[in-house]
């Protein structure tokens, strides 16, 4: 009887142990699953860039065009995310800016000084590192870096500038090898590029997160909107910048010439000021109008065409964002919106980019991060486009390689203060008088001040000026080709942006700024060394710098 009882007790004890063990194992398994589930998932990263979309034409930035409500979709993104207010381009022209974004480097380091710059796969650092971090990568839209974007898993890109209507693309799946792997798609480029991105997203089979660069051609000149926008703003008078007609004490001998001798040459204008190239010529304005009426009509046509292409971008973003929401991707996708540089929209009677003036220098940069609901609404750290790659890499969990000049500012989304951050952003425009007759220059932009040195020489020292002749309003070679190598006067410009945000007064010779200017020159030299932006390879430019540094 006792033996039988003991046997039953042992069986009960064994059963209890098994049950306890199973329960324990189950708990361990559940705990493991919970741990796995708690690990943060890499977010998708959608980098959207429009060509020449300046912050003045984005409502969220509150400029004089904001009352027109040109960008409700982008404004809503800014309201949900963070608007970065002090973001600057390092070389305000399409190819160099895009090269700095892909490489995280200044122009001399990556080799793209001007529109002839090329970035091969060996320097396509950003997509390469994203792939290494486990991302599926794609590039759709305007590429403009000449070489095949082989670092991406998928690409469908416009050749060079591309066309607004029925654009041709170079397609990784097209027949033939780059650059002959072309396919044509019907429609307006902004609609088509959005369609292509939605198609790629819809057909993805990978379980990897995606890194997608979605680049619009719009609103690059010459502006061609989809026909449905022909009447947009037709009956509206576009607000004018206050210095469209009166340039005040803006500029210097470098931008006006001795005694104003080059006012009609330097910088494409809205008005008749530059008779060779002004927006009124391109906009078919009546040449018999008075100076004021011509300028007013030219400006209205210019801005309406520009904003109609902006409207097309904004509406297409609404369509793209709706796709992300409908397919459950919105809450795990970091969305970044920017332009490849700023754009002068009539300020100081100037159009296009290239200049270090505010309209051209400042970039829009808006970030929506669904995993950072408490991110600040506005940030005013001094950021430039070499920082974009490090920023996105940190979002993906990748450290910034030493070869990149930029630094990540991702911690700002957690309301952290950036340590040892720059106090000024260095800028350099290399092309000198190409296309829009902008003299070559470099400078430094701090939170409150801007210092610019116009050295006025092309980096290619040949041919000599004796090989050139002047006729009418342009220089030409004996073979008739317009050069970009004619030197212009050298001068400094300084603007106190805290007191003069519109840059109406060049205060370089004002004694009260002497110490500030001296400090900025020291910082400028340090950054030129730090970013390999010196002129050791261009001794003719260094000679100009040496001769005028203390002017």
Of the CA atoms within 13 Å of residue 494, those in its CB half-sphere come to: 17
Question: Are residues 209 and 135 in contact, defined by beta-carbon separation less than 8 angstroms?
Answer: yes
pLDDT tens digits, one per residue of 270-306: 999 999 899 999 999 999 999 999 999 999 999 999 9
Neighbouring residues of 112: CB distance < 8 A, sequence distance ≥ 6: 95, 96, 98, 99, 100, 118, 119, 145
Token pair for residue 220?
Answer: 């690059």
Alpha carbon 113 to its chain centroid, in Å, reads: 16
Least confident of 7-16, 125-134, 396-405: 7-16
Top pLDDT among 251 and 26 is at 251
Does the structure show a pLDDT above 90 at 545? yes
Query: Helix, strand, coil shares of the chain as percentages rounded to 5?
Result: 35, 15, 45
Q: Closest Cα to residue 208, out of 102, 101, 130, 156?
A: 130
pLDDT tens digits, one per residue of 376-395: 999 999 999 999 999 999 99
Residue 389: phi and psi, rounded to 5, are: -65, -50
Q: For residue 111, what are the β-bridge partners?
A: none
pLDDT tens digits, one per residue of 69-89: 999 999 999 999 999 999 999
Q: Which domains does the chain have, with CATH numbers?
A: 44-236+310-416 (3.40.720.10), 427-548 (no CATH)
Task: Report the C-alpha gap between 370 and 226 in whole angstroms.
Answer: 32
Does the structure show a pLDDT above 70 at 474? no
How much is the pTM?
0.90
If you average pLDDT over every residue of the chain, what do you get? 91
The pLDDT-based confidence of 481 (bands split at 50, 70, 90) is very low
For residue 26, the model assigns a pLDDT of 42
Question: Are residues 81 and 321 in contact, defined by beta-carbon separation less than 8 angstroms?
Answer: no
Question: Are residues 487 and 477 in contact, defined by beta-carbon separation less than 8 angstroms?
Answer: no
For residue 40, the model assigns a pLDDT of 63
Q: Which residue has the tokens 């001094």?
A: 382
Share of the chain above pLDDT 70, in %: 88
Question: Are residues 432 and 454 in contact, defined by beta-carbon separation less than 8 angstroms?
Answer: no
Burial of 45 (0-12, 13-18, 19+ CB in 10 A): buried
Within 10 angstroms of residue 10's Cβ, the number of other Cβ atoms is 10
């Amino acid at each position: 009887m006792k033996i039988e009882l003991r046997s039953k007790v042992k069986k009960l004890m064994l059963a209890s142990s098994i049950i306890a063990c199973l329960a324990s194992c189950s708990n361990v398994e559940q705990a493991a699953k919970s741990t796995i589930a708690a690990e943060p998932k890499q977010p998708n990263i959608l980098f959207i860039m429009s060509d020449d979309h300046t912050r003045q034409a984005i409502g969220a930035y509150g400029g004089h065009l904001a009352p027109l409500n040109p960008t409700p979709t982008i404004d809503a993104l800014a309201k949900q995310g963070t608007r970065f207010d002090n973001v600057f381009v390092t070389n305000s022209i399409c190819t160099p800016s895009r090269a700095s974004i892909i490489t995280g480097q200044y122009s001399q380091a990556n080799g793209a000084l001007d529109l002839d710059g090329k970035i091969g796969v060996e320097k396509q650092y950003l997509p390469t590192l994203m792939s290494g971090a486990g991302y599926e990568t794609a590039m759709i839209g305007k590429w403009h870096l000449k070489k095949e974007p082989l670092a991406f898993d998928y690409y469908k890109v416009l050749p060079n500038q591309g066309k607004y209507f029925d654009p041709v693309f170079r397609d990784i799946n097209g027949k033939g090898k780059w650059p002959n792997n072309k396919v044509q798609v019907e429609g307006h480029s902004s609609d088509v590029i959005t369609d292509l991105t939605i198609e790629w997203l819809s057909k993805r089979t990978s379980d990897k997160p995606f890194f997608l660069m979605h680049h619009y051609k719009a609103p690059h000149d010459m502006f061609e909107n989809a026909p449905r926008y022909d009447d947009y703003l037709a009956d509206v008078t576009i607000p004018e910048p206050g210095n469209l007609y009166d340039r005040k004490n803006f500029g210097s001998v470098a931008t006006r010439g001795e005694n104003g001798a080059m006012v009609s040459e330097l910088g494409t204008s809205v008005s008749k000021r530059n008779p060779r190239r002004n927006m009124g010529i391109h906009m078919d304005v009546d040449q018999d109008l008075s100076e004021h009426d011509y300028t007013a009509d030219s400006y209205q046509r210019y801005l309406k065409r520009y904003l109609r292409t902006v409207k097309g971008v904004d509406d297409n973003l609404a369509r793209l964002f709706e796709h992300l929401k409908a397919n459950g991707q919105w809450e795990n996708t970091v969305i970044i919106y920017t332009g490849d540089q700023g754009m002068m929209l009539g300020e100081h009677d100037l159009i296009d980019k290239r200049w270090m003036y505010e309209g051209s220098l400042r970039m829009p940069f808006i970030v929506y991060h669904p995993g950072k609901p408490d991110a600040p609404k506005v940030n005013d750290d001094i950021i430039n486009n070499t920082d974009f790659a490090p920023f996105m890499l940190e979002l993906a969990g990748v450290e910034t390689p030493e070869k990149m000049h930029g630094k990540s500012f991702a911690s700002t989304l957690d309301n952290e203060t950036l340590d040892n951050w720059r106090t000024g952003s260095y800028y350099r425009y290399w092309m000198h008088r190409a296309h829009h007759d902008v003299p070559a220059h470099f400078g430094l932009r701090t939170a409150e001040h801007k210092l610019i040195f116009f050295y006025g020489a092309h980096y290619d020292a040949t041919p000599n000026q004796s090989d050139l002749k002047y006729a009418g309003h342009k220089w030409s070679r004996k073979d008739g080709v317009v050069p970009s190598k004619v030197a212009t006067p050298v001068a400094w410009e300084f603007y106190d942006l805290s007191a003069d945000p519109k840059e109406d007064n060049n205060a370089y010779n004002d004694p009260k700024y002497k110490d500030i200017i001296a400090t900025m020159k020291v910082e400028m030299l340090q950054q030129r060394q730090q970013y390999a932006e010196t002129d050791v390879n261009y001794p003719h430019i260094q000679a100009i710098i040496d001769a005028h540094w203390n002017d």
